[in-house]
């Protein structure tokens, strides 16, 4: 079992995106990711950070057997919720030591790569002076400011579960990514968001979705069918139809199995499919 520390840096600076790190002090492992200054995929700031942290955990091979000590800042609120929902052992923690140093070092490296003088560093946690120097340097040139100034509007968006992996149920949808039809009873990613007081709703094939959904209500299973393995979904049956195995009617509202075989929709009782050879 390892203990992982999760910290961020750069949130108080008006220029450059934040940096998040996943650190194991016992082994000296450091994994870092950079939050862009802006983005346009409708994700909230907290959702984007959560996705970055999940990716860092995958890179690190971190598991549910490990312990996670996480900064309590707003930037990690959705990540906190995700850790709880997924059953991870975690708690908030006041950061110091390697995690803090790694985050600050990664942020400084990022601004230096952009051309900021390397010798101007954070001294004794005087963030205001350090960030002011960075902001003044960025503001000297309009193009530099356009490239590196934080987009505060995207960071104001509430952390709501906009992307949801679910089923199309008995309705066909059109993929917003490729414009192809998503058949009924198929996996789909639904995007909901508000803009200028209006509600928007889009659908994607899972492979066309620009992000990895953090929420899912989809229940997929594999069954044997005609010497093949079918991957299908379990959803409440919307109407009476005969089971493909026993020919008895499916009861509306009860869970039923749906899958496609050679472009033909197959449906039936889950227990019937479990017994197919």
Task: Say if residue 192's pLDDT is above 90.
Answer: no
Could you give the CA distance from residue 64 to residue 31 in angstroms, rounded to a whole number?
A: 18
Task: Say if residue 271's pLDDT is above 60.
Answer: yes
Q: Which DSSP letter does residue 26 get?
A: T
Q: What number of CA atoms fall less than 13 Å from residue 146's CA on the CB side?
A: 3
Task: Say if residue 160's pLDDT is above 60.
Answer: no
98 and 200 in one domain?
no
Separation of first and last alpha carbons in the chain: 41
99 and 23 in one domain?
yes
Could you give the CA distance from residue 80 to residue 83 in angstroms, rounded to a whole number?
A: 5
Task: Say if residue 157's pLDDT is above 70.
Answer: no
205 and 167 in one domain?
yes
Chain mean pLDDT for the chain: 92
Q: Which DSSP letter does residue 175 get?
A: B
pLDDT in tens, 99-130: 999 999 999 999 999 999 999 999 888 999 99
Task: Say if residue 275's pLDDT is above 70.
Answer: no
Provide the strand spans (E) within the chain.
3-9, 19-24, 29-34, 67-70, 89-92, 163-167, 173-174, 181-182, 187-195, 198-204, 215-216, 220-225, 228-236, 255-261, 264-268
Q: What is the CATH number of the domain that holds 227?
A: 3.30.60
Q: How deeply is 257 buried, as exposed, middle or buried, from its count of CB atoms within 10 A (0-12, 13-18, 19+)?
A: buried
54 and 9 in one domain?
yes
Could you give the CA distance from residue 260 to residue 58 in angstroms, rounded to a whole number?
A: 31
CA nearest to 51, candidates 220, 217, 210: 210
Q: Which domain holds residue 224?
A: 220-274
74 and 42 in one domain?
yes
117 and 15 in one domain?
yes
206 and 224 in one domain?
no
167 and 146 in one domain?
no
186 and 77 in one domain?
no
99 and 46 in one domain?
yes
Q: How deeply is 167 buried, as exposed, middle or buried, from its count of CB atoms within 10 A (0-12, 13-18, 19+)?
A: buried
210 vs 64, higher pLDDT: 64
Range 242-258 average pLDDT = 94
192 and 110 in one domain?
no
Number of structural domains in the chain = 3
| Structure tokens given for 57 | 């955990």
Determine contact, residues 245/269, Cβ cutoff 8 Å: yes
107 and 23 in one domain?
yes
Q: What is the CATH number of the domain that holds 75?
A: 3.30.420
Task: Say if residue 264's pLDDT is above 80.
Answer: yes
């Amino acid at each position: 079992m390892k203990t992982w520390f999760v910290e961020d840096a750069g949130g108080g600076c008006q220029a450059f995106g934040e940096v998040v790190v996943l650190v194991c002090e016992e082994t000296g492992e450091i994994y870092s990711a950079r939050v862009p200054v802006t983005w346009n995929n409708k994700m909230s700031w907290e959702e984007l950070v959560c996705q970055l942290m999940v990716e860092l955990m995958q890179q690190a091979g971190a598991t549910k057997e490990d312990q996670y000590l996480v900064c309590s800042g707003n930037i990690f609120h959705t990540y906190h919720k995700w850790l709880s929902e997924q059953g991870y052992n975690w708690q908030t923690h006041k950061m110091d030591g390697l995690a803090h140093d790694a985050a600050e070092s990664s942020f400084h490296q990022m601004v230096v790569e952009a051309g900021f003088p390397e010798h101007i560093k954070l001294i004794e946690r005087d963030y205001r002076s350090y960030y002011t120097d960075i902001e003044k340097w960025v503001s000297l040139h309009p193009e530099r400011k356009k490239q590196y100034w934080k987009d505060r509007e995207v960071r104001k968006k509430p952390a709501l579960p906009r992307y949801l992996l679910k089923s199309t149920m008995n309705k066909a949808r059109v993929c917003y990514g490729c414009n192809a039809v998503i058949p009924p009873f198929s996996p789909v990613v639904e995007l909901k968001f508000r803009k200028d007081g209006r509600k928007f709703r889009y659908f994607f094939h899972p492979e066309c979705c620009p992000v990895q959904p953090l929420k899912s209500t989809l229940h997929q299973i594999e069954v044997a069918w005609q010497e093949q393995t079918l991957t299908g979904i379990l959803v409440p049956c919307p109407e009476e139809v005969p089971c493909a195995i026993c020919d008895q009617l499916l009861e509306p509202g009860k869970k039923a199995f749906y899958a496609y075989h050679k472009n033909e929709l197959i449906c039936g009782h889950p227990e019937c499919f479990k017994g197919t050879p």
